[in-house]
Amino acid sequence: MTQVKLRRLDYKPLDFTATKVDLEIKLDLPVARVKNKIAIKRLNPQASSFVLNGQKLDLLALKINGQDWDKYTLDLVSEVDGFQNLTVDVSSLADASEFTLEVLNEFNLEENESMSGIYLSDQVIVSQCEAEGFRRISFYFDRPDCLAEFTTTIEAKKAYKYLLSNGNLIASGEVDQEWHYAKWHDPFPKPSYLFACVAGNFDLLEDTFVTKSGRQVQLKLFAEPGRLEQIKFAMQAIKRAMKWDEDRFGLEYDLDVFMIVGVGYFNAGAMENKGLNIFNDELLVGCKDTSTDNSLFLIDSVIAHEYFHNWTGDRVTCRDWFQLTLKEGLTVFRDQEYSSDTLDRTVKRIQDAATIQQYQFNEDKGPLSHPIRPDEVESQDNFYTSTVYEKGAEVIRLLHTLIGEENFQKGMKLYFARHDGKAVTCDDFVDAMADASGYNLDHFRLWYSQSGTPVVKVSSNYNADTKTQTLVFKQHTPPTFDQKEKQPLTLALKTQFLTADGRTLTNLESKDGNLVPEVIVFETEQYELELVNVPEELVVVTNLDFTSPVKIEQDLTSADLANIAANCQNFFAKYNAIRTYLNNIVAKNEAKFAQDPRAQLELDQDFKAIYGNLFAQARENASITAEILSLHNTSSLTGNAEKAYNPHAYNSISRAIEEKLCADYHEQLFQLYQELPFREWEYNAKHFGERALRRELIKILSRKPEYEYLVAELYDKATCFTDKFAALTAVFENNLTGLFSLKERYIQEYQEHTICLDRLLGLEIRSARSIEQVKEAVENAKQFSYTKPNSIYLLIGELARNYSLSFTYEWLDFLKELLIQVDKYNPGVSPHICRIFTEYNLYVEPYRSKLLNVIKELLSSQIQFSRNALEILTKGLQASEA
């Protein structure tokens, strides 16, 4: 199948647009019938026709101004995906400047397994329209630059107790003894991707929030029956987010009601539909007794993210999907700031930097590389990447660093003043920031159009005679698959200077007589800075707090790294020094562990200094210590790899490092473990840190038989799910066969909690020794379904971390068949499987060829893949041949 490329520069405004939409949706399973009455306005006086998008719809009738209209054509654009174009000719209409179009269509929602448009999630009818799902509901201008005021009437049988849509409820009641209806009006113009429709029977949790102007907003949370207690945390998260957005950004909620619905079958994590957010229930349902701290943190941050979209996404939206980072990068930055203010800023910064370093950097160097504002794509659904979201947020953070909080807030206010109610571009956002702050951001804009990871080489030369130290920062961005030519970018590097004995020197002077700034900013390929009156050679510690999303190359010795880890006042720098040290250990040991998985780990003398000091400071810095210990996980080690690697060697090195820590430090670690208190659960950074450290310590200690009893003891003493699951994880990861009875206890305790059972299934898949064991675990898991996105995400995520099976032919065949199966009904999920194969460039042989051969087999077959999957597989093959 030939793929059609969509290009950013080909954007053309609509000739006709919708200004008001009156939807009537009758949900009469298996069919949904939709009457869409659209007020249309002509924007281009020369235009005489327009195209409405559809997908797998049956057109029943079409009228203009109340009269039947037959001057149209309905074309099938794609047999595989069912895309349709409805072209309406209005050249014979007496007045085509403004008119009313009425379209009547229906579709079978029970046959819609794509989870796009309106579909069934168990017993709930729900919608998902971003990016192009509305065309599965009705023929429409299904693009983000068409903003209209929606009125929606939903009619369904009374078995569906709640009928929900965007905006405020303006009418509801009985149709007859069997049917009822609800009518909603959203006064704020919105694109079709923000439309939402829900019908179902839920538990409802209600509360109120009083805005800063004194308006009372109704808060309503809907979850599957039996989960009322488990959505109370989410309700508090909503109120925290609303208050924070008022305090930090001055943004107030605008409707009378804010609603969130949680459903079990949902491709995405959550969706910011205006006034009616729809969530994957994993990101809504949770409490201390059924969720880990990390899960609750995710619930809190995702609720904040989707709520923050009310302004950065809903009130001001994207002109086209190439501008996706306009709303997503900005809103990720906002939710990161919310989490930083709510819990621990340093820990959050470490975690966000790790996401970039371990995932996004890999995307940059692979076949799917693209800028945060891509220039071309074949499927809009493939825009939802770590680059667009997380790197997009880092670019916003860099902008914030450059102009400062006060100017950033001025820029936000100007942005809303100019563009409220409009669909705009990334350039419009940068324009507002430049105009409000007075900064020239012309060169900064390159971050939006250039792909790849900048590398900054930092060199330093100390002259003892003149007491000067010259620093040279030299940046370059390696070529990527999508772009060969690169230019220097605007960089901001927060920098500190350490003496050999660990003192931080401040107020240093440069040759021009000025104090050296805390943040060094440059936009040239090379930047030099000469320090004067320097008493001794200093260790340069740069890119503290990850102020720019770049890789730093610097000749730091193990002693330098130990100095930073022990003495630098910046905790991010401590973490990053140990991360760099571990990377060096892995590089030194990879070859021999590739030959012998039980090889002796080769370490230098600084290992003891680094870890001895780390554990000595652990009581005061539990959260940071936990983050550092998590660096030993195989997924962290591989994510931080600087070149193609042997995944099995890395897994063996991960095990060897933890065995070494257990052997050398078990007494100190045991003492530290014993001193960690079992507190009553609270949502705060201190308690999170203590439990996170306990999780890492029990995993290390239980490698030694004499400490295995601590695992069962932890399970029994646990005051929250976090500690219980930490114990169970240690059983599986360290293969503590004598404690497998904990699994049966766990099943008995959590048999009614699907999400908890999924967590156990994840451990079983990750520790399976054959694909047959994986299949058996899946078959025995009553909550698992091959049509459920959460199940597929769990399956492929844990299979990727199963180093006993990974890259075996049965592992590859299983994933290949899974892709073929899933892509037939849900092309929103199948790209996640494709990306396992297209990451071949991360690995040495024979792993690289094994993945690449799968891509070749799939593309040479007669299988008709969705455009989502086909684009990713094709790019994977093309990059290997470039």
**SS3 for 784?**
coil
- Distance, in Å, from the CA atom of 819 to the CA atom of 805, rounded to the nearest integer, reads 18
Mean pLDDT over 277-298 rounds to 98
DSSP annotation string for 3-43: PPPEEGGG----SEEEEEEEEEEEEETTEEEEEEEEEEEES
Q: For residue 3, is pLDDT > 80?
A: no
Distant-in-sequence, close-in-space partners of 170: CB < 8 Å, separation ≥ 6: 151, 183, 184, 185
**Region for residue 359 given its phi and psi (left: phi exceeds 0; alpha: psi -120 to 50; beta: otherwise):** alpha
- Strands 31-42, 16-28: pairing is antiparallel
Structural domains of the chain in order of their starting residue, each with its CATH number: 16-201 (2.60.40.1730), 317-449 (1.10.390.10), 455-554 (2.60.40.1840)
Whole-number pLDDT of residue 356:
98
Whole-number pLDDT of residue 882:
84
- Distance, in Å, from the CA atom of 693 to the CA atom of 672, rounded to the nearest integer, reads 9
- % residues pLDDT > 70 (the chain): 100
CA distances to 33, 114, 283, 479, 825 from 120, in Å: 15, 10, 19, 45, 13
DSSP 524: S
- Distance, in Å, from the CA atom of 733 to the CA atom of 754, rounded to the nearest integer, reads 22
Q: For residue 195, is pLDDT > 80?
A: yes
Average pLDDT, the chain: 98
Q: What distance separates the 2 farthest-apart alpha carbons in the chain?
A: 96
Whole-number pLDDT of residue 586:
98
Report pTM: 0.98
Structure tokens at 510: 């440069």
pLDDT in tens, 197-241: 999 999 999 999 999 999 999 999 999 999 999 999 999 999 999
Mean pLDDT over 30-41 rounds to 99
- Distance, in Å, from the CA atom of 64 to the CA atom of 86, rounded to the nearest integer, reads 14
Length reported for the chain: 882
Confidence of residue 485 (pLDDT cuts 50, 70, 90): very high
Mean pLDDT over 163-174 rounds to 99
Write down the residue that tokens 């991010």 correspond to.
572
Do 448 and 489 contact (CB within 8 A), yes or no? no
DSSP 738: G
- Distance, in Å, from the CA atom of 89 to the CA atom of 69, rounded to the nearest integer, reads 9
Q: For residue 1, is pLDDT > 60?
A: no
- Distance, in Å, from the CA atom of 412 to the CA atom of 429, rounded to the nearest integer, reads 8
Helix axes 685-701, 647-675, angle to 10 degrees: 120
Integer-rounded Cα radius of gyration of the chain:
28
Q: For residue 2, is pLDDT > 80?
A: no
CA distances to 365, 376, 486, 703, 839 from 482, in Å: 10, 10, 11, 45, 15
- Distance, in Å, from the CA atom of 493 to the CA atom of 495, rounded to the nearest integer, reads 6
Mean pLDDT over 260-282 rounds to 98
- Distance, in Å, from the CA atom of 497 to the CA atom of 518, rounded to the nearest integer, reads 10
- Distance, in Å, from the CA atom of 764 to the CA atom of 729, rounded to the nearest integer, reads 10
Q: Which residues are catalytic?
A: 306
Nearest 5 degrees, angle CA 437-CA 439-CA 444?
120
Whole-number pLDDT of residue 442:
99
- Distance, in Å, from the CA atom of 128 to the CA atom of 111, rounded to the nearest integer, reads 15
- Distance, in Å, from the CA atom of 87 to the CA atom of 47, rounded to the nearest integer, reads 12
pLDDT in tens, 381-431: 999 999 999 999 999 999 999 999 999 999 999 999 999 999 999 999 999
CA distances to 619, 658, 677, 745 from 698, in Å: 16, 11, 14, 19
Backbone phi, then psi, for 349, in 5-degree steps? -65, -40
Do 279 and 266 contact (CB within 8 A), yes or no? yes
**SS3 for 79?**
coil
Dihedral, CA of residue 359, residue 364, residue 370 and residue 371, to nearest 10: 90
DSSP annotation string for 287-304: -TTTS-HHHHHHHHHHHH
Structure tokens at 644: 């193609």
Helical (H) or strand (E) element with 564? helix 558-567
Confidence of residue 67 (pLDDT cuts 50, 70, 90): very high
- % residues pLDDT > 90 (the chain): 99
Whole-number pLDDT of residue 264:
97
Do 593 and 656 contact (CB within 8 A), yes or no? yes
pLDDT in tens, 625-647: 999 999 999 999 999 999 999 99
Do 452 and 479 contact (CB within 8 A), yes or no? yes
Report H helices in 250-323.
293-308
Q: For residue 663, is pLDDT > 90?
A: yes
**SS3 for 644?**
coil
**Region for residue 208 given its phi and psi (left: phi exceeds 0; alpha: psi -120 to 50; beta: otherwise):** beta
**SS3 for 54?**
strand
Mean pLDDT over 795-803 rounds to 97
- Distance, in Å, from the CA atom of 152 to the CA atom of 169, rounded to the nearest integer, reads 10
Do 64 and 101 contact (CB within 8 A), yes or no? yes
pLDDT in tens, 843-876: 999 999 999 999 999 999 999 999 999 999 999 9
pLDDT in tens, 325-356: 999 999 999 999 999 999 999 999 999 999 99
Do 628 and 569 contact (CB within 8 A), yes or no? no
- Strands 316-318, 422-424: pairing is parallel
Nearest 5 degrees, angle CA 279-CA 282-CA 284?
55
Write down the residue that tokens 């069997």 correspond to.
178
Helices (H) and strands (E) in the chain, counts: 26, 33
Do 568 and 610 contact (CB within 8 A), yes or no? no
- Distance, in Å, from the CA atom of 627 to the CA atom of 354, rounded to the nearest integer, reads 10
CA distances to 80, 155, 566 from 831, in Å: 16, 35, 43
CA distances to 576, 621, 679, 687 from 690, in Å: 21, 9, 9, 5
